[in-house]
Structure 1
Amino acid sequence: MKEMRGIRSTELPEDFWIPIPLDTNNITSLSPYLVPQDHLGSRALFYSLSAFMFFLFVAGTAINTLTIACTVLYKKLRSHLNYILLNLAVANLLVASVGSFTCFYCFAFRYMILGPLGCKIEGFTATVGGMVSLWSLAVVAFERWLVICKPLGSFIFKPSHAAACCAMTWVFALFAAVPPLVGWSRYIPEGMQCSCGPDWYTTNNKYNNESYVMFLFCFCFSVPFCTIIFCYSQLLRMLKSAVKAQEESASTQKAEREVSRMVVIMVLGFLVCWMPYASFALWVINNRGHPFDLRLATIPSCLSKASTVYNPLIYIFLNKQFCECLRKMLGLSAGEDEESSMSQSVTEVSKVGHS
């Protein structure tokens, strides 16, 4: 693959920025809105990414649609925690049905065939859905901390509080997604030019891209991440104290192991989803002029969209009560005994929290 160099946005039309081969003179002939970007990779690579995005579109849409339908169908799932998980599913569905489908379609043609307007729509919806998903993960951690560790004593986290937290995630998401539409940064093709996101490539002072990237990193990544780390560390600390006080209790020991495993999975899922994107964007704005492979720049976008599949698996399908309802909805489990046992079941984590 030919060496690439970054071209400042002032050297190209306002709508886009692309990296070009060093020996290419006709810059406008490589517009990601007009022609296939075959100078960035082989057709096999484009088609492979298209197939991957199609898988994310189908799997993400199916899993999150089932999640929403199951929650609507069964009243017993309408708890404060499941409200937040439902919010997460709605955000994932938005990203899967719009973002992943758009990328699948454009990778199949090997360029942003939907044009500047389609780029802005895809970038905006993916940013909104991604930010809602990210903040929902933080809210889940916060809710677990309040319910199990009880830092506020007798305070009860009610469904109305969960609904307010869900509304907050959408407000924060709009704070993050609207600025590129009104001049603070902008949505342009990224990576292999078949998906769109905020402009973290260029140095054009007109858009203040550096300040926008720092805003995303500090407010939309660091704050949720610190919230998750703090809440889950407090949860583990409380469980270890309970285990120490009840060393003879096998159920308490089992609860600590299960929750420890879940915390590790949840934190790793968060990092896999968002750390590559945040790290790569920060590296680019702090290393202006350094060449980088556009194929590598595509990886963070793919990982963030893949969260529409693995987030439900972590946060929803490991929920025993939800899984029972889902199996019943699909006709895989309809026994009265199962429903009765499900309604009476209480997780070991909650037991430890109450103790």
Structure 2
Amino acid sequence: MYKSNPDPKVELPDDFYIPIPLNTNNITELSPFLVPQIHLGSPGLFMGMSVFMIFLGFPINALTVFSTLKYKKLRSPLNYILVNLAAGNMLVMMMGSTMAFYSFSQMYFVLGPTACKIEGFTATLGGMVSLWSLAVVAFERYLVICKPLGNFNFRSTHAIIGCIITWVFGIIASAPPLLGWSKYIPEGLQCSCGPEWYTVNNKWNNESYVIFLFSFCFGLPLSIIIFSYTKLLMTLHTVAKQQEQSASTQKAEREVTKMVIVMVLGFLMCWLPYASFALWVITHRGEPFDLRMASIPSVFSKASTVYNPIIYIFMNKQFRCCIMKLVFCGKSPFGEDDDVSGASQTTTVSSVSSSQVAPA
């Protein structure tokens, strides 16, 4: 067990934070930039985390981007958002997960404080881009299928604007710790970095940033996702009631309902533990907590690089078929027809199907 509020007589470092074990007041000897953090876990735990980090979803995301470059049929406006999602995931992989992999293999953040800031910034930026991409996908489905603006046609210009918005919002969320609003420090097992919300030093500075992240980068996109998919399900339910004798319509309603539940649960599984833990820490100042527990929500958020492509890319028949053709040298092992024309992407309320509701 660790004290979340160290003895005020102990000089606290600026570039890391470790709650002091009850039997010592020497923070320097525990620095995550200098010594293995074996006081937090066994070598086997660190090696297991190292393996987990390196085998996150880089292949899936790389195949998504490469498939779009290779197959012209994938370059539809909505697919731009899915490629943007993959790009955000790859940024997390190339910078965040790679540095974390090496650090876990050494059992401390051997790359130093500057690399910690780089890793924290890039992982946060990529994560925010991916997160906001999910919100853009949901809102696009709402505009196209529910038609609040009439016969709205989602064009390439709209997709590009959506992608730009995700990166602007990502920078707004990830840049402040580099500019003095909170900071990036090692977290959890001290081998990966993220925003600091543990200490009581600069309490308002840290707490206000966490509240900002929770509101702007979790609450707002989650609200957009829930609102959009709720409206979509209501629209589909109305269509199903009007076509009660249509087995295909009833089947589509059931399939879409399951699909939306998976999408929302996937979002919550990735980001709710991280947001909840951060809020708990800042609202329970002075209460003891096990710092190792901070690694769990961090791992869940980084694992979004695996969940998101599986949920959003592999639900897209075109992407799925093209990726399978790349992997299996030109032929999908499932025998799916990947010749989906642009015309099939057009959705009308009178003929809503599961493939039209999914990010396809």
**Which residues in structure 2 correspond to 1:303-342 (within 5 Å)?**
303-330=300-327, 331-333=329-331, 341-342=339-340
Task: Indicate how the Cα distance of structure 1 residues 85 and 344 shifts in structure 2: closer, same or farther if over 3 A, else same.
Answer: closer
**Which residues in structure 2 correspond to 1:60-79 (within 5 Å)?**
60-79=57-76
Moved more, 338-347 or 179-188: 338-347
Moved more, 129-138 or 148-157: 148-157
Partner of 1:130: 127
Pairing 1:256–2:253 present: yes
SS in 1 for 2:201: coil
SS in 2 for 1:208: helix
SS in 2 for 1:188: strand
SS in 2 for 1:342: coil
Preserved CA contact (<8 Å) 1:7 1:17: no
Alpha-carbon distance between aligned partners in 1 of 2:336 and 2:212, rounded to the nearest angstrom: 48
Alpha-carbon distance between aligned partners in 1 of 2:182 and 2:314, rounded to the nearest angstrom: 37
SS in 2 for 1:4: coil
- CA deviation after TM superposition for structure 1 residue 83, in Å: 0.6
Partner of 1:162: 159
SS in 1 for 2:154: coil
Q: Deviations over 1:25-65 (max 9, x none)?
A: 32211111100111111111111111111221xxx211111
Among the aligned pairs, what percent are the same residue?
A: 63
AA matched with 1:212: Y
Q: Which structure shows the higher helix fraction?
A: 1
SS in 1 for 2:185: strand
Q: Equivalent of 2:89, from 67, 92, 95? A: 92
Partner of 2:4: 6
Alpha-carbon distance between aligned partners in 2 of 1:23 and 1:340, rounded to the nearest angstrom: 63
Length, aligned pairs only: 348
Q: TM-score, normalised by structure 2?
A: 0.92
Task: Indicate how the Cα distance of structure 1 residues 107 and 248 shifts in structure 2: closer, same or farther if over 3 A, else same.
Answer: same
Partner of 1:202: 199
Gaps of 5+ in 1: none
Alpha-carbon distance between aligned partners in 1 of 2:270 and 2:338, rounded to the nearest angstrom: 37
Task: Indicate how the Cα distance of structure 1 residues 97 and 353 shifts in structure 2: closer, same or farther if over 3 A, else same.
Answer: farther
Pairing 1:140–2:137 present: yes
Alpha-carbon distance between aligned partners in 1 of 2:204 and 2:194, rounded to the nearest angstrom: 14
CA RMSD, Structure 1 to Structure 2 (Å):
2.1
SS in 2 for 1:216: helix
Q: Deviations over 1:192-233 (max 9, x none)?
A: 111100011112227700000000001111000000000000
- CA deviation after TM superposition for structure 1 residue 354, in Å: 5.2
Partner of 2:355: none
Alpha-carbon distance between aligned partners in 2 of 1:31 and 1:192, rounded to the nearest angstrom: 12
AA matched with 1:6: S
Partner of 2:43: 43
Q: Structure 1 stretches (4+) deviating beyond 4 angstroms?
A: 7-10, 337-341, 351-355
Q: Equivalent of 1:102, from 84, 95, 99? A: 99
Q: TM-score, normalised by structure 1?
A: 0.93
Preserved CA contact (<8 Å) 1:92 1:130: yes
Partner of 1:183: 180
Pairing 1:236–2:233 present: yes
Q: Deviations over 1:281-312 (max 9, x none)?
A: 00000001111112211001101111101110
AA matched with 2:165: M
**Which residues in structure 2 correspond to 1:208-247 (within 5 Å)?**
208-247=205-244
Alpha-carbon distance between aligned partners in 1 of 2:95 and 2:167, rounded to the nearest angstrom: 17
